[in-house]
Chains A and B, each alone.
Chain A
Amino acid sequence: MTEAPLIHLEAAALGYDGTPVISGIDLAVERGAVLALVGPNGSGKSTLVKAVLGLAEVVAGNLELFGQPAGEFGDRGRIGYVPQRGAIAGVVPSTVHEVVSAGRLARSRTLRPFRAADRAAITRALDHVGLTDLSRARVATLSGGQQRRVLIARALAAEPELLVLDEPLAGVDLSSQGQLADVLRVLAENGTTIVVVLHELGPLRPLVTRIARLRDGHLVYDGPVTADVLADLHEDELGHHDHHHDGPAPHRTSPGSSDLGLTG
């Protein structure tokens, strides 16, 4: 029996307070994929991932998570979330360990103290992102790249099967971007399915097996990493309008363009 996609959208309109931000979305994310969700600002990338996370509504159509309708999906620990967040330091100081531990709550019961398995998962998450030595450090004292790794570790503490990252490279220096790419590469090699919202692929390019490109609230491309789609992505970055892609164009899943051999 074929496993249901981890994320399955059919003619979905997603948004807030009954108002769609994106519509007509058909997309399936299979286990093991590394999907880059790209598009210019305001194209609806964040709304799509927020719907997957239960933070935005399915206004019309269907969204299934792990084969279940999103409204009935309760096992939130299976989906890890790494938000786009410039600084994660709150008013009250917190340590790396405290923040990462919060991620384990998705797998533990209210009022029950963490068990050995919970503590081990938190330790593994810290180790995975290379922050074991800084676990007692105050989060506010860390660099932007280290703080981003704290957020990844927080998501990993729940041992998710699907990891959703919103702009993980934004505001992070090039060297830290490389470290983040290494962390995600190991996760992908270990079978974690990854959906990552990006402006440009950057150091994640070798990992990405598939691109979904949004524009003006519609999915305009869903397929492998090709030279054409990378060029489109570059145009998005420059803020140019590629007229032949405007509107709810059909998916260019077989564009006949050069496949860069990066697909999985």
Chain B
Amino acid sequence: MELLQYDFMQRALLAALLVGLAAPLVGVFIVQRRLALIGDGMGHIALTGVAIGLLTGRSPVLVALAAAILGAVFVETVRMRGRASGDVALAIIFYGGIAGGVVLISKAPGGSAATLNAYLFGAITTTTAADLAVFAVLAAVILAVTIGLARQLFAVADDEDFARASGLPVARLNLVLAVLTAATVVMSMRIIGLLLISALMVIPVATAILVTRSFRATMAVAVAIGVSVSVLGVVASYSWDTPSGGTIVLLAIGLFALLAAGTAIPPALRRRRV
């Protein structure tokens, strides 16, 4: 494989593998809670973190992580209060996040439209070894927490009132999920892009749903799809010279369309669901 000769491609493929694994693991709970676009909002907030990192000469990934986690805590606090004004507050913080990011990046050393595009839509040449180390730690945390707390997160996502009546720490579990979402968003900023990460949290899950009948199987199949489309998307991006984020998302949508068409075939001609 010619592309594996390049260090940047090795890093890009590893980053794709990590985000492809993590995004559907978090996404399955987000989809169940009908909060499919929450990652989108966190991506907006993370962009301001990236810009502050670039302006101050600190790691954009780490500053974006701090910004996204703060954003996650804020979003979850607003959501838990459940007031009508909360919706407006979220809109302000999300659009404020992206506006702040765009303005601040334009003033950062080396800040350009190309830099902004890379963060928003992904680019295969941008992953550094330091980024990869951060992504590996975040992926390990996401894997450990989503598997360790899978039953509790499922219970809250499935029926929040019942979970609360059962004595589960619902507010804390919701906060954990929000922080995991923030971490996933940050992992996406090199390969997928902050504006497209929601797609990798949602589409593999939506695709898996077409062929599964249990939550556990949906998680497993969604992760397999997430990893496959991410890695293949990076390879395709290299071959076709296209932005990696858009390429990965289009592959994911293509697979969804293919399976959706397949499952429209009469049941007698289909394999049993797993």
A contact residues vs B (CB 8 Å cutoff):
53-55, 74-77, 79, 81, 83, 85, 88, 90-95, 98-99, 101-103, 105-106, 110-111, 136-138, 141, 154, 158
Contacts of B271 in A (CB 8 A): none
CA distance A111 to B166 in the complex (A): 16
Q: Are A93 and B212 in contact (CB-based, < 8 A)? A: yes
Q: Secondary structure of the B side of the interface?
A: helix
Does residue B151 face the partner (Cβ distance < 8 Å to A)? Answer: yes
Q: Are A99 and B161 in contact (CB-based, < 8 A)? A: no
Contacts of A90 in B (CB 8 A): 32, 157-158
Which of B158, B161, B167, B214 is A102 in contact with, Cβ under 8 Å? Answer: B158
Contacts of A110 in B (CB 8 A): 149, 152, 169
Does residue B105 face the partner (Cβ distance < 8 Å to A)? Answer: no
Contacts of B152 in A (CB 8 A): 105, 110
Given A76-B166, A76-B167, A90-B157, 19 additional A-B pairs, CB 8 A: A54-B164, A55-B165, A75-B167, A88-B159, A90-B158, A91-B209, A92-B205, A92-B218, A93-B218, A94-B158, A95-B214, A98-B215, A99-B158, A102-B154, A102-B155, A102-B159, A103-B166, A106-B168, A110-B169
Q: Are B165 and A79 in contact (CB-based, < 8 A)? A: yes
Does residue B109 face the partner (Cβ distance < 8 Å to A)? Answer: no
B contact residues vs A (CB 8 Å cutoff):
28, 31-32, 34, 148-149, 151-152, 154-155, 157-159, 161-169, 205, 209, 212-216, 218, 273
Q: Are B209 and A83 in contact (CB-based, < 8 A)? A: no
Contacts of B167 in A (CB 8 A): 54, 74-77, 106
CA distance A79 to B149 in the complex (A): 23
CA distance A158 to B205 in the complex (A): 30
CA distance A2 to B164 in the complex (A): 30
Nearest CB of chain B from residue A49's CB, rounded to whole Å: 10
Nearest CB of chain B from residue A177's CB, rounded to whole Å: 22
CA distance A110 to B156 in the complex (A): 13
Q: Are B151 and A101 in contact (CB-based, < 8 A)? A: yes
Nearest CB of chain A from residue B157's CB, rounded to whole Å: 7
Tell me the nearest residue of chain A to B210, going by C-beta.
A93
